[in-house]
């Protein structure tokens, strides 16, 4: 909602006092600054600013006022997703995954609902460029999900880890690279799906 000229002035006065003293002006101070005949006029302006979504605070306590960002109502829930090291998007590699930290994700913008089984891995290599997955990207994966043919998965194939596309060939599961420089991987002994990709985060240099 659009603010009136006086409401803008009151809001700017509150901002100015907060910046100068780290305190919010009282209703009495607001009234005195603008020459209002009573604190009621100051309270009316404060109520209007609250109603229009630019201030919040306890009733009758001006010093509890907090100025809200115009984007406050657009904020989405943010969760921390653990990052368990790197995964080769190239030739399969034998390595131990270790937690490196976490990445904070706006879950609604990413379009996922993370669970306790959601994790991330950083991509190394270029075997998945056909799926627009580049080296340095973070893939968000869900452990325990059953992959469908065409899903991108983090997998342990014959004790070596890799990021590839899960494909069924004549009913048998294989791991397909999305770069003609790399072969399709066919398990000799074991194929274990560690996670199915549900999202991608790219850091732009």
The residues annotated as belonging to the active site are 127, 164
5 DSSP 8-state letter: H
Is-contact 122 137, C-beta < 8 A?
yes
Q: Identify the bridge partners of residue 139 per DSSP, sorted by sequence position.
A: 121, 200
The Cβ of residue 141 has, within 10 Å, a number of other Cβ atoms equal to 25
Is-contact 120 129, C-beta < 8 A?
no
Is-contact 89 125, C-beta < 8 A?
yes
Q: Identify the bridge partners of residue 162 per DSSP, sorted by sequence position.
A: 155
Q: Identify the bridge partners of residue 123 per DSSP, sorted by sequence position.
A: 87
């Amino acid at each position: 909602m659009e603010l009136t000229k006086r409401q803008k002035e009151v809001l700017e006065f509150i901002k100015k006092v907060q910046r100068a003293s780290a305190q919010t002006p009282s209703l009495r101070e607001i009234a005195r600054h603008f020459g209002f005949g009573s604190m009621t006029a100051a309270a009316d302006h404060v109520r209007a600013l609250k109603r229009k979504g630019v201030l919040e605070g306890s009733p009758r306590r001006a010093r509890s006022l907090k100025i809200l960002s115009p984007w406050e109502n657009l904020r989405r829930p943010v969760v921390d997703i653990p990052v368990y090291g790197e995964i080769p998007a190239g030739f399969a590699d034998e390595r131990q995954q270790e937690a490196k930290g976490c990445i904070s994700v706006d879950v609604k913008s990413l379009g996922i609902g993370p669970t306790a089984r959601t994790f991330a891995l950083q991509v190394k290599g270029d075997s998945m460029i056909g799926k627009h997955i580049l080296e340095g990207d973070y893939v968000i994966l869900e452990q325990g999900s059953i992959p469908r043919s065409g899903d991108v998965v983090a997998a342990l194939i014959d004790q070596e880890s890799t990021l590839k596309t899960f494909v069924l060939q004549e009913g048998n599961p294989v791991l397909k690279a999305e770069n003609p420089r790399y072969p399709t991987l066919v398990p000799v002994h074991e194929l274990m799906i560690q996670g199915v990709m549900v999202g991608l985060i790219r850091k732009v240099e």
